[in-house]
Chain A
Amino acid sequence: MAAIASFLGRRLIKSVFILFAIVVINFMLVRAAPGDPAMVMAGEAGAADQQYVEQLREQFGLNRPIHEQLGIYLADVATGDLGYSYRQQRPVWDLIGERLPPTLVLTGFAFVLALTAGVLLGTLAAMRAGTWSDSAITVLALLSYATPIYWVGLMLILLFSVQLGWLPAFGYETVGGGYEGWDRVTDIGAHLILPVVTLGLFYMAVYARLTRASILEVRDMDFVKTARAKGLTEARIVFRHVLRNAILPVITFAGIQAGHLIGGSILIETVFAWPGIGRLAFDAVLQRDYQVLLGIFFVTSVMVIVFNIVTDLVYSLVDPRIEVA
């Protein structure tokens, strides 16, 4: 227990440094972009004069020296304030709070789907290595891995929404549908299917391949041979002994991928008009909504860090031989 506490302590301190570096690097990076939010708004207004642009700059605090702006921003972040969206005139926390849940729902389901289906398929393929079902799973995984994710999304829309009319093609829920309670859940569920499958398919492929490779490697190790010599059933061997050890690299990878899932959702959110954080980030880049973009970087980084810590803890649970360190 104490080991875990000190592990968490050390990781937290390290995380704070990483976060600090991320904020500073991103701040400088974002400011290297040509143009500023005042210019975007002037450009979109269709008419503007100098006074208009300058008013906006003053309002946004962009007329101060850049190091001063960085100082202000860092101080704000330290107190948990991510600032204000220039464009939407609202606190960044509010925006992220609104946009994060749909993304979490999407990526969460996709992650669970990818992990379960991937591990299952990978295990199946490994147990039947060399047979046609192994080949089929391997080919499926390879194909899903090699196909551009947005293209899959488009093709699924073409098939299931346009041709068959089974599932809604875009959005988070039926707007103005007035659904309550359980109806609302099923409504959101129907909207979820296509994006979740699209996003999940790619990662499922990754996990299936990893699991398969990992099992094949573990399968021939001594402790498995011992188990087999003891006359245990193959299924028992796979689940009790092999999978438990083979799952480790999968967990490691899943920990890294969790953050990337958020990035991948930019494409999915574009294709499926999903009101999530990926799209918010993309719009924020184009609109130079600095604080929103920095806020998203900050929040997603925190999530990745938390996830990595959790992964390490899970790691030690699955394999007691590994101590948290």
Chain B
Amino acid sequence: MSRDFWKAFARNRGAVVGLAILALVVLAAVFANLIYPQSPWDMAAMPFQPPLSDDALLGSDTLGRDIAAGIVHGARVSLLIGLSSTAVALLIGVTLGAIAGYHGGVVDDAIMRFTELFQTIPNFVLAVVLVAIFTPSIANITIAIAVVSWPPLARLARGEFMALRSREFVQAAITTGQGTGTIILRQILPNSLSPIIVSASLTVATAILLESSLSFLGLGDPNVMSWGYMIGAARTVIRQAWWMSFFPGIAILLTVLALNLVGEGLNDALNPKLARKGRA
């Protein structure tokens, strides 16, 4: 499995590039304190230094904080919020989707109506309202993003579970008297994992974009340096100092791009029959 997986994954050149970029981002996040030991909030340079100046590789911001340091430290927050909100969204979405798909009938109907409810409210508006109401902090932003991200995952999981529910091995498990929980977790979930993983990788990408959009509107956590915050804080000076919003923008772009590429690679590797199918 694993060797085939890598083979199939590596056949998609974009995916390999994506994985490489992603690895760099993860390394930056992990070793941020080694690369830039000082706090990214420190006014390390003269304000408004353009890129390639002596004291700031990618320039400095309006208060003289190093953009490069901000990007390296910001990788942490973007990844943290991207991953944790996706984890929460998966927990909600897959759980609800699994129950709905497995049980069908009234349960399914109820859960799907509930899901529809969340899909009916424009999701970015809802995220903005949630963060504004519960005040911006990492935890609240994560939850808000998760709350608006789970419905597609729930629908996906439901579809998978519905399809697998009637398969022989599940029926066999039912007749041998295995408990519902066991069947869901042991039998169906492992077999429905591939599309969910692919979808999750894209959810991470969307979550990172969402976080940056919230920060752009001034709804970021003020205690942590994040890319979205950097663009939000620099957007008003974009004409004097393009680099302040340009580089964080590129950082977001590359990370989101990498996640998408990896997602496609995963899709190729995990769903060979449906190779190169886009997201829906």
Are A154 and B128 in contact (CB-based, < 8 A)?
Answer: no
Known: A148-B212, A262-B122. A213 touches B133 (CB 8 A): no
Q: Is A39 an interface residue (CB 8 A)?
A: no
Known: A17-B113, A270-B217. A148 touches B249 (CB 8 A): yes
Kindly provide the distance from the CB of B252 to the nearest chain A CB, expressed in whole angstroms. 6
Q: Is B88 an interface residue (CB 8 A)?
A: no
Indicate which residue in B124, B216, B260 contacts A263 across the interface (CB closer than 8 Å).
Answer: B124
Q: Is A142 an interface residue (CB 8 A)?
A: yes
Known: A148-B213, A149-B213, A209-B279. A142 touches B129 (CB 8 A): no
CA distance A293 to B217 in the complex (A): 17
Q: Is B19 an interface residue (CB 8 A)?
A: no
For A22-46 the 0/1 string (1 means CB < 8 A from B) is: 1001100110111000000000000
Q: Is A92 an interface residue (CB 8 A)?
A: no
Q: Is A85 an interface residue (CB 8 A)?
A: no
Indicate which residue in A18, A29, A145, A266 contacts B120 across the interface (CB closer than 8 Å).
Answer: A18
Are B209 and A148 in contact (CB-based, < 8 A)?
Answer: yes
Interface of A is mostly: helix
Instruction: Point out which of B121, B212, B279 has the most chain A C-beta atoms below 10 A from its C-beta.
Output: B121
Are A266 and B231 in contact (CB-based, < 8 A)?
Answer: no
Indicate which residue in B128, B261, B274, B277 contacts A266 across the interface (CB closer than 8 Å).
Answer: B128
CA distance A25 to B238 in the complex (A): 39
B contact residues around A282 at 8 Å (CB): 128, 217
A contact residues around B72 at 8 Å (CB): none
Are B121 and A301 in contact (CB-based, < 8 A)?
Answer: yes
Q: Which residue of A lies closest to B124 (CB)?
A: A263
The interface on chain A, measured as residues whose beta carbon lies within 8 A of the other chain's beta carbons, has a size of 56
Listed stretches A176-184, A253-261, A312-320; interface member: A253-261
A-B contact pairs, 15 of them (CB 8 A): A22-B121, A25-B117, A143-B253, A146-B256, A146-B257, A150-B231, A210-B280, A212-B278, A213-B280, A252-B280, A253-B280, A256-B119, A259-B119, A266-B125, A300-B122
**Additional A-B contact list (12), CB under 8 Å, known A285-B128, A285-B132:** A18-B113, A21-B117, A22-B121, A147-B252, A214-B278, A259-B121, A259-B122, A262-B122, A263-B122, A263-B126, A281-B125, A297-B125
Q: Which residues on B are within 8 Å of A, measured CB to CB?
A: 113, 116-117, 119-126, 128-130, 132-135, 205, 209, 212-213, 216-217, 228, 231, 235, 238-239, 242, 245, 249, 252-254, 256-257, 260-261, 274, 276-280
